[in-house]
Structures are given as structure tokens and as C-alpha cells.
Structure 1
Amino acid sequence: MAAAPTSGLAALVTDRVRTALREHTVPFHGLEGIEELLSAAEALLGGGKRLRAAFCAAGWGAYSPAPVEAGSAPVLAGSALELFQGAALAHDDLMDGSHTRRGLPAVHRRMAAEHADQGWLGDPERHGAAGAILLGDLLLSVSSVEMDHARRDVVAPATDRARAIWDLMTTEVAVGQYLDVRSQVLPWSETSDVERALTVVKHKSARYSVEHPLTLGAALAGADDDDVERLRRAGLPLGIAFQLRDDVLGVFGEPEVTGKPAGDDLREGKRTVLLALALRNADAAQRARLQADVGRADLTTADVADLRDILERTGAVEEHQELIDEHLEKGLSALADLRLPTATEELLTGLAHSLTARSA
């Protein structure tokens, strides 16, 4: 095994995402209305940290000496991951009723505003919702085509193993997303909410954010089933740590850094592990306040501050951080046991720490 360099990866993937979006929709260029979809997609895909692509490239580097360069399998796979991420974000923001994403209007808000600005017939909100669903569907299709491009120069059984990982990932995200939606309409439960929230974390985002990209890159590079399984043992806890940190930012993050309003997860009623811990630890008055206010779209800045205070006073924030640290250490320990090339281990260790120290 030998590590491949990944310097400049984000720029390579960003360039490829832009190219792939246009390349895979060539038959429809010139159709009236297509630019509305493609421009909305480009705005959505233009930002992001490219973390999934980085884990994919790291997985590749663990098992292949080939460089990570324009047109290479890890760059194409990274592009496929980012296109799929765009689909997930378009759908997720619509379901959550989010107004912004990465400091810009969410897709459904952008398309509703375009409808209103143009003076078109009908309801702008319905148009925006339909547009976000269809844009997400388009990006799902394009991401699958891009994944096939990543597999073109990879021989069996590596190409089949990579496709199996991709298929599992794309299916699991849909299942996890439904579990998330479902959790928000179930009655509150002090005994099962923490475990339920952790299950959502695992299937909606943890495996998709770290484990699947990491093993996808490794599979493309020729890693066998045993190698992939060992990587999974490192990727899953790191992915959980990543999402748990994301849930902290959803409550305590700074809008100018996260690109979303302060306390957005509280307004959306997200049944996060952080909230579940607070409910489990809360006294009667604190529990009543959380259950009454979490999920209220009209929460004021003062309301958000009060709810943050409850989360802290119940000890949930501290306990939640302990969970993050526990999963980070578990993932790092599993990485060390893999005996990867030094450069790859250092890259993955750095990525792992960045997951839990990020502010956006």
C-alpha cells in the first residue's frame, strides 16, 4: 500500500463537479427552463468543504500509489459524492423548511423567489418546492453517471465492490432521512430518544459522511473485502463524531460562519442526540419548556438563548462533547490498528480532528 498525494483536491473536485453537471446534461442544453435548474445546482454545489471527497481520496491513497489528479478515479468519485450531497441538501432543506444553505437561499427559496420575481402564475412556494425536488432528482441521476465514469478504468472485482458501496450509501441515506423525518413526529420519550437519535445519526449522515467515502476510495484502489471492513470500523465512529459536532453547530454555531440562522435546528425541531440528552437530564420545568418550544418556527433570538441555556444547565452539552470525544478516540484507535502508510494515516488523522473542531 502506498499513499497518493491529495494536495489541491478540493479545487480538482470543484472543477470536475462543475464540468460533470454540464457534461451529463448536454442532451437538454438549449431547452427553455434548463438554465434555471443548472444555475440553481451550480449555486448549491459551489460551496462546501469537500470532506467526503477528501475521505474518498484518502481511501484511494491507502491502497494505490497512483496520483490523485484531474480525471483520476478518486477525483471522479469525489465529484460523484459532491453531486449526491447536492441532491441530499436540496431535499433536506425543503423537508426542514430551511431558508438558507451555505449563506445563500436554499434551493426551494431561490426558486420560489424566481417565480415571484418573474410574475409567473400560481403559488411561488409550490413552484419552489417542486423545483427543489426535481433538482435533487436531477443531481441524483447525474451523480450516478459520474460514479460510473469513476469506475471506467477500474477492473473487476474492484469496480463491482465500489458500485456495491455506492448503492448501499445512496439507499441508506434515503432510509436515514426518513428515520429523521419520522423521529420528529413521534411522542417525546425520555428513555428511547437518545438511542433513536443515534440510530438516525448513523444511517442518515455518519456512514455517508465518512465511512462510505473512505471505503469507496479504497475499493476503487483495489482494497479487498477484509480491508474494506477494517476501514469501516474506523469510518463509522469518525462519522458519528462528525454529525454530533454538526448538531452542536446547529444550535450554537455563528450564522456568519455556518451560513444558517442561529439556532436553526431548534426552530426545525431536530430530534438530535444533544436535545435527547437534555430531555433525559432536565427537571419538569426545563422539560416542559423544551417540549413546548423546540420546533417553533417563530423562535426569537431571546427564545433561542433561553433554550441554549437549558441545554447547558442540564449538562447535555458537556455529556454530548464526551460522546464526540469518545467516538473520535475510537475512530483514531481503529485507524492506528490499520497500519496504513504514514502519509495516509497522518492525512486521515488530520481529517478526523478537523471533523470535531470545525466551526462550520
Structure 2
Amino acid sequence: MDDSLLPVVDEVTALAGGGKRLRPAFAYWGWRGLTGPDGEDDDAVLRAVAALELVHASALVHDDVMDAASTRRGRPATHLGFATRHGAASLDGDGAAFGVGAAILVGDLALVWSDELLRRSGISTEALIRARPVWDRMRTEVTAGQYLDLLRAAGGLPGPQGALTVARYKSAGYTVQRPLQLGAALAGAGEQAADTYSGIGLPLGEAFQLRDDVLGVFGDPAVTGKSADDDLREGKQTLLISLAEERTDAAGRALLARGLGNPAATPADLDAVRALIVSTGARDQVEQRIADQTARARQAIGDAAIAEDARTALDGLAVAATSRNA
């Protein structure tokens, strides 16, 4: 179309070039666990499940815009990167607004390309027809989950249960449950297999998101690729924060009110919030929930009627997804 679009393509490429590849891995092994000798071509399935990485890239870009995040995967968040391009090229208008607009379009393009990659992956027409309902449901859920996250940040969906509801729809479902079910659909498995994968995916997806929340506050930026202060400066209402609010006193709640969602908060202010999360036992409680939900998922993997190589791979993914440091 035009050479000036190359930075847009480069940005999608950079976003899709990083990350842990968990969603495609769950989908692939979900397929391998149930497929027979006359199933889909392996390379075609790999291309189909790779489309999940483009869905994820889209969600990351849009999430960073809504959260006003500064970094992603060790590089400037997309909206900041394009704002910098605006300034470097001495373009007219507001650079920040240009960056936000460009990031929205980068995310949209990644979502469009995810659909195109699935459709052109080479899987059979029958497999594509089976996959579409899961695919559509997953993309609807993650979009709805983003709205629920906005709503919670504005005071809706209060308390620990509200935090878990956001985690369920914004991340947990589309990280594990729906990818596994996508694999089952590609294999031509029925409702029983989909239910089995829900029994694995829902607790494991929640544990994955809770680990992400812990890393967002206590992680090493050199390892995670994002600032450990962003979630606190944004005032992200995770389960950690809800539990700390419940367990602290008036002085503690005042500390949270001063530190959370305050762009001017000092490093000492944010360290005090971290200390409060630890001293109230909120971090320990979240860690225990991660351990309990991971154990539930691993038990379900052990009980599932799937191929042994897939069982081994899924159990390894369960451990990696919930005990990671990035």
C-alpha cells in the first residue's frame, strides 16, 4: 500500500516476536491430546494456533493504552513508541494523541490478522467450522473482560470477587480454557472433551493471572520486561489490593488511597504499598490460591482421557505458567 505503513507492520511483528507462547502451546497440546491418526496436518494446526498470538498482541496493545502503561516486553508500549515517532518526524498535532490512535489501529490490525491466519492456516474446512464458535466466544470474552477491567477501575465490581470476575474474563479464559477447547474443536472432539478442558483451563487460567498480578507488583523489571510500579501507579484493582484493603486498618487504607493510582507517587510511597500487601497477608493468600488452583488443574490433567504425551506437556505448561518469574 505505502512504505509509510512499514512501522505499523514492524510493531505487530515486534509484539508477536516476544512472549511465552502459552496460548498456542495449550491449543496445540489440546489438539494433540485428542486427535487420531487421520486428523489435521500438524503444520496446519501450528499455523492455526499461532493465530492466538495475534489475538494476544491486540489485547496487549489496547490494554496498554487503557492502562497508560510505559513498557511492554522490555520496550516502550506501542502508544509511546508511536508518540516518539511523531516527535522525531516533526509531525503536526499532538504526539500523545497520535500515539494512542496509532496503537488502537495496531491492535485492530493484529486482531484482523489473527482471523486471517486462522482461516488461511491450511486446516480442513470441517475443522475451521468446528473451531469458529470457540474462536468467536474467546474473542468476545476477552473484549468484554477489558470492559469489566475498566468498570472495576471506576469503582464497579468491588471486592475480591470482582477482581476474580475480571481475571476470569480478561485473561484466564483466553489464556488456557479457550485455547484448550480450540484444540479439542480442531480434533473433532465433543462436548465431554470441552468440559474436561474447562476443568483444567479455568483454575489454571486463574492461577496464571494471579501470578501475573503478583509479578506486576513484586516482579523484577529486568526479567518481566515491564515496570513493577505501573500496576500501582495505575491503581490496578487486583485481588492483592482487595485483600489488603479488607485486612488493613484505617491508616492502611489511607496509605493505599495515597499510593494507588497516583502518578506522582514516589518510589518510597509504592514500596510502602508493597510492604502493606505483604504485612496484611494478602500476598500469602494470593500465593496460596495460586497453589490451590494449580493443584486442581494438575489433578484434572492427570485424570483427563488424553494421550500421554499431551498429558506430560500440559502438566509441564501448568507448572511453567504459574511458577514463572516473567
Fold similarity call, TM over 0.5: yes
1-structure distance, mates of 2:253, 2:226: 26
- Equivalent residue for 2:108? 137
Which letter does structure 1 place at the counterpart of 2:108?
D
Which letter does structure 1 place at the counterpart of 2:26?
F
Does 116-125 or 298-307 show the bigger shift? 298-307
Q: How does 1:329-344 map to 2 (within 5 A)?
A: 329-344=295-310
Shift of 1:69: 11
Shift of 1:32: 4.1
**Paired residues of 1:56 and 1:216 also in contact (CA < 8 A):** yes
Shift of 1:77: 2.1
Q: 2:164 aligns with which of 175, 180, 198?
A: 198
**Paired residues of 1:173 and 1:204 also in contact (CA < 8 A):** yes
1-structure distance, mates of 2:40, 2:69: 36
Does 201-210 or 59-68 show the bigger shift? 59-68
Which letter does structure 2 place at the counterpart of 1:354?
A
Q: How does 1:223-234 map to 2 (within 5 A)?
A: 223-234=189-200
- Equivalent residue for 1:312? 278
2-structure distance, mates of 1:320, 1:50: 24
**Paired residues of 2:119 and 2:128 also in contact (CA < 8 A):** no
Residues 257-299 of structure 1, C-alpha deviation per residue, up to 9 Å, x if partnerless? 0111122211111110111111111111111111222111222
Decide whether aligned partners of structure 1 residues 71 and 329 sit closer, same or farther in structure 2, where only a CA change above 3 A counts. closer
**Paired residues of 1:154 and 1:220 also in contact (CA < 8 A):** no
1-structure distance, mates of 2:83, 2:163: 32
Residues 7-38 of structure 1, C-alpha deviation per residue, up to 9 Å, x if partnerless? xxxxxxxxxxxxxxxxxxxxx3xx14211211
Q: 2:232 aligns with which of 266, 270, 294?
A: 266
TM-score normalised over the length of structure 2: 0.95
- Equivalent residue for 2:143? 174
Which letter does structure 2 place at the counterpart of 1:214?
L
**Paired residues of 1:68 and 1:75 also in contact (CA < 8 A):** no
Shift of 1:39: 1.3
Which letter does structure 2 place at the counterpart of 1:153?
I
Identity percentage of aligned residues: 43
In structure 1, list runs of 5 or more residues that go unmatched.
1-27
**Paired residues of 1:77 and 1:217 also in contact (CA < 8 A):** no
TM-score normalised over the length of structure 1: 0.87
Decide whether aligned partners of structure 1 residues 357 and 68 sit closer, same or farther in structure 2, where only a CA change above 3 A counts. farther
Shift of 1:79: 1.7
1-structure distance, mates of 2:249, 2:243: 12
Decide whether aligned partners of structure 1 residues 336 and 326 sit closer, same or farther in structure 2, where only a CA change above 3 A counts. same
Q: 2:134 aligns with which of 154, 161, 165?
A: 165
Residues 55-107 of structure 1, C-alpha deviation per residue, up to 9 Å, x if partnerless? 01111110125699997232112221001111111111011001110000111
Q: 1:56 aligns with which of 27, 31, 36?
A: 27
Alpha-carbon RMSD: 1.9
| Residue 155 (structure 2) pairs with residue 186 (structure 1) | yes
1-structure distance, mates of 2:38, 2:170: 31
2-structure distance, mates of 1:177, 1:44: 19
In structure 2, list runs of 5 or more residues that go unmatched.
none
Q: How does 1:45-124 map to 2 (within 5 A)?
A: 45-65=16-36, 72-124=43-95
- Equivalent residue for 2:217? 251
- Equivalent residue for 1:6? none
**Paired residues of 1:102 and 1:259 also in contact (CA < 8 A):** yes
| Residue 247 (structure 2) pairs with residue 281 (structure 1) | yes
Decide whether aligned partners of structure 1 residues 291 and 340 sit closer, same or farther in structure 2, where only a CA change above 3 A counts. same
Decide whether aligned partners of structure 1 residues 166 and 39 sit closer, same or farther in structure 2, where only a CA change above 3 A counts. same
Q: How many residues are paired up?
A: 326
**Paired residues of 1:59 and 1:218 also in contact (CA < 8 A):** yes
Decide whether aligned partners of structure 1 residues 66 and 80 sit closer, same or farther in structure 2, where only a CA change above 3 A counts. farther
1-structure distance, mates of 2:239, 2:72: 22
- Equivalent residue for 1:290? 256
1-structure distance, mates of 2:265, 2:14: 28
1-structure distance, mates of 2:249, 2:37: 57
| Residue 19 (structure 2) pairs with residue 33 (structure 1) | no
